Amino acid sequence: MLCTFIFKELLCRWGPITKIITDNVPMYKVAVDELMCKYGIHPIHVSPDNSQANSIVERQHHDVCEAIIKICKGDKMCWNQVVHSVFWAEYITIQKATGLSPYFMMHGVEPIFPFNLAKATFLAPLKHQGTLTTTELMAWCTCQLQKHTEDLEAIRERVVAACFM
């Protein structure tokens, strides 16, 4: 499954790569060997995980993993169908440390998507009131990006009700 994801989401989308960095975690060894045989991608091995040194970097990964699990409703087998939306949601979500989204820091503007205007996804109901955690905010943005049918139906009902008022 990891090889399929790398092929579809990296190689097909961004073009060929010749090297991949891995820390020799057993679950990646099979995928890296298959990538080397099929596509000639050679692994660069780095030292195994150092929890003290990597904790700052891996903290952000926790929010991504939790958002994927939340969107998949606990079914970890569908991660490859939602991961691109979660990464995009992470990229446009305002970060606590900077008060800015990575997208804004890169481009100087916040993104406005055509579906925000056409589908009014900004009216998507929040399941949670009050302050959202980063994971909850990323999961909510991911739902908007994926335009889930039930969310669009709830939005349509709110818009129709507002029109009648």
Half-sphere exposure of 121 (CA within 13 A, CB side): 17
Please say if the pLDDT value at position 128 is more than 80. Answer: no
Residues 116, 132: contact at Cβ < 8 Å? no
Whether the model pTM is above 0.85: no
Please say if the pLDDT value at position 14 is more than 80. Answer: no
Please say if the pLDDT value at position 142 is more than 70. Answer: yes
Please say if the pLDDT value at position 29 is more than 70. Answer: yes
In terms of pLDDT, which residue wins out, 149 or 38?
Answer: 38
Please say if the pLDDT value at position 115 is more than 60. Answer: no
Query: Mean pLDDT, to the nearest integer, of 28-46?
Result: 80
Q: Mean pLDDT over all residues of the chain?
A: 75
Residues 123, 149: contact at Cβ < 8 Å? no
Please say if the pLDDT value at position 75 is more than 80. Answer: yes
pLDDT digits (tens, 9 = 90+) for 89-98: 888 888 877 8
What tokens appear for 107 in the block?
């481009």
Please say if the pLDDT value at position 79 is more than 80. Answer: yes
Please say if the pLDDT value at position 24 is more than 80. Answer: no
Please say if the pLDDT value at position 118 is more than 60. Answer: no
- CA 5 vs CA 2, 118, 154: distances in Å: 5, 30, 32
